[in-house]
């Protein structure tokens, strides 16, 4: 019996040795070299480490002990300051469990983000962590957050319009696919509302959207997500969130990571719209990190490379050439001013980087003129070349009439006696201002906008009381959709708007307004 037992033991040992030999054959043992260092000091959002002589700029470093104590995942950071004695690291997570003396090691890679179609319809952090309780992301590819902007020869002219669904923007401050249009104004003047309406208007237009929230309150972000879901816009939208309570490092890299996600779709030949809400918080975050890392402060305590912070981000928005897929990336950065000071440091930087700005006036907002777009201070340096032909027919008359009205209205306040022509200019201008108002989350098609704007510029609404303008607009939209579907299709497809089309539309408008 002892012999049989020993034989079985020998057999088991023999099998085990065979398995070990096989494993060693296929997986030979090898030494892995890893540079390690020690944490010298920790401050909110940053850490100072020593002992990483080969670390590179923007390389990821790992703090295994701090991550294990916090969530089980290692805490990551970006090597930002490469000083001779130490390395300044921007932390990408909660630093509560990190302390002096902890180990840190190099990862020999840069920070990257997930890309792919699996992101559509999801609410995620820039690192790919889902926030919508719909399970983990099925991601097959990751790309670096910092990428070079396309070269000049890789870009094509901006020729296709990006319809916002807002009459005042599409007619007077048009935006093209591949453009960078700044949305600027004081706090609580409707900047985010314009961006969200633009996203809602891209439904069924084959434009993917990315909403990037930077430093916003969680309640405000939740409200935006709820609006997108109610309007059915999440099917073609990705929401990338870095809330105000998130680590400074995440807020810093979020717009770059969101742009990388957008570039993936643009390189597939798709048209993409990205909204940065807002870059004021981003600039302040970068200033705070720079001061903590003891970088020399400049004007308003911002570091010297604050212009490069946003220029390298917005230069990635473009219309790619046909050889690269003919995709486009349109950027709508949002910036907040204080006391209507558009000549402040950060606003002037962004105005010089972008291709125009939509300025929202708090004075118009207080007068219940929504959207509160100040046409005189707003401009689009590219979009006029991309406008649909029908807009070009009415845009000149509309801007001229509105400008004359604003000038005459100032003098009319003095109570002087006005001649008949001046009174007519005032009445026409008041109706134009009323027509340019538009409720939130109710974008209009190009044909509906053209019909309404042509009606007001050609006097079809002169006899309509101001409080009945909205009702008249609804009648016009319904009448044009019902009576002229062919002309609507011609307008949407960008075909030339002839004199015959103009006369036909005016007759239809007159019939609609004269109907009981």
Given a contact cutoff of 8 angstroms between Cβ atoms, the answer to whether 255 and 212 are in contact is yes
Beta strands 237-242; 207-214: pairing state? parallel
Q: Where are the alpha helices (DSSP H) in 322-388?
A: 345-353, 362-366
- Backbone phi, then psi, for 247, in 5-degree steps? -55, 150
Q: Say whether 146 sits in a helix, a strand or coil.
A: coil
Whole-angstrom Cα distance, residue 86 to residue 365? Answer: 51
The HSE-up count of residue 122 (CA atoms within 13 Å, CB side) is 23
143 is catalytic: no
H or E element that contains 75: strand 75-82
SS3 string of 366-382? HCCCCCCECCCCCEECC
Structure token digits, residue 103: 């180990």
Whole-angstrom Cα distance, residue 85 to residue 82? Answer: 8
Distance, CA of 156 to chain centre: 21
Q: Say whether 71 sits in a helix, a strand or coil.
A: coil
Nearest by Cα to 199 from 171, 225, 160: 225
Whole-angstrom Cα distance, residue 410 to residue 110? Answer: 58
Q: Would you call the peptide bond into 255 cis, given omega within 30 degrees of 0 as the criterion?
A: no
Whole-angstrom Cα distance, residue 516 to residue 174? Answer: 35
Q: Give the active site residue among 134, 147, 187, 381.
A: 381
Lookup result for tokens 């002229």: 484
H or E element that contains 104: strand 103-110
Q: Which residues are catalytic?
A: 381
């Amino acid at each position: 019996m002892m012999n049989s037992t020993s034989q079985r033991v020998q057999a088991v040992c023999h099998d085990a040795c065979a398995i070990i030999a096989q494993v060693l054959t296929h997986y030979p043992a090898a030494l892995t070299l890893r540079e390690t260092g020690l944490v010298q000091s920790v401050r909110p959002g940053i850490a100072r480490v020593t002992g990483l002589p080969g670390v590179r700029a923007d390389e990821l470093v790992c703090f295994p002990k701090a991550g294990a104590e916090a969530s089980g995942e290692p805490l990551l950071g970006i090597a930002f300051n490469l000083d001779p004695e130490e390395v300044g690291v921007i932390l990408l997570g909660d630093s509560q469990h990190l302390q002096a003396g902890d180990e840190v090691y190099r990862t020999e890679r840069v920070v990257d983000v997930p890309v792919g179609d699996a992101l559509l319809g999801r609410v995620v952090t820039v690192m790919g962590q889902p926030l919508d309780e719909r399970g983990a992301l099925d991601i097959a590819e990751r790309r670096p957050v910092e990428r070079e902007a396309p070269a000049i020869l890789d870009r094509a002219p901006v020729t296709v319009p990006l319809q916002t669904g807002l009459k005042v923007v599409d007619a007077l401050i048009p935006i093209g696919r591949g453009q960078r249009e700044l949305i600027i104004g004081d706090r609580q003047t409707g900047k985010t509302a314009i961006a969200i309406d633009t996203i809602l208007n891209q439904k069924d237009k084959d434009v993917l959207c990315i909403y990037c929230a930077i430093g916003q309150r969680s309640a405000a972000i939740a409200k935006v997500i709820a609006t997108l879901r109610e309007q059915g816009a999440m099917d073609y939208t990705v929401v990338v969130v870095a809330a105000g309570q998130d680590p400074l490092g995440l807020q810093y890299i979020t717009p770059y990571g969101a742009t990388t996600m957008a570039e993936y779709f643009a390189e597939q030949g798709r048209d993409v719209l990205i909204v940065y809400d807002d870059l004021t918080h981003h600039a302040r975050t970068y200033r705070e990190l720079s001061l903590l890392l003891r970088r020399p402060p400049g004007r308003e305590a911002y570091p010297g490379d604050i212009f490069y912070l946003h220029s390298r981000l917005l230069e990635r928005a473009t219309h790619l050439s046909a050889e690269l897929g003919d995709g486009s990336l349109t950027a709508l950065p949002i910036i907040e001013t204080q006391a209507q000071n558009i000549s402040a440091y950060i606003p002037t930087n962004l105005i010089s980087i972008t291709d125009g700005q939509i300025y929202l006036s708090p004075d118009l907002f207080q007068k219940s003129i929504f959207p509160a777009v100040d046409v005189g201070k707003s401009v689009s340096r590219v979009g006029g070349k991309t406008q649909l032909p029908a807009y070009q027919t009415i845009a000149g008359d509309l801007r001229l009439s509105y400008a004359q009205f604003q000038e005459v209205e100032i003098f009319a306040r003095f109570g002087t006696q006005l001649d008949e022509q001046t009174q007519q200019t005032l009445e026409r201008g008041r109706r134009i201002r009323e027509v340019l108002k538009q409720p939130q989350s109710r974008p209009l098609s190009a044909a509906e906008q053209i019909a309404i704007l042509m009606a007001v510029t050609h006097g079809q609404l002169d006899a309509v009381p101001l409080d009945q303008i909205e009702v008249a607009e609804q009648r016009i939209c319904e009448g044009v959709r019902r009576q002229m579907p062919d002309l609507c299709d011609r307008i949407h497809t960008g075909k030339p708007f002839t004199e015959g089309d103009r006369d036909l539309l005016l007759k239809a408008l007159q019939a609609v307004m004269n109907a009981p």
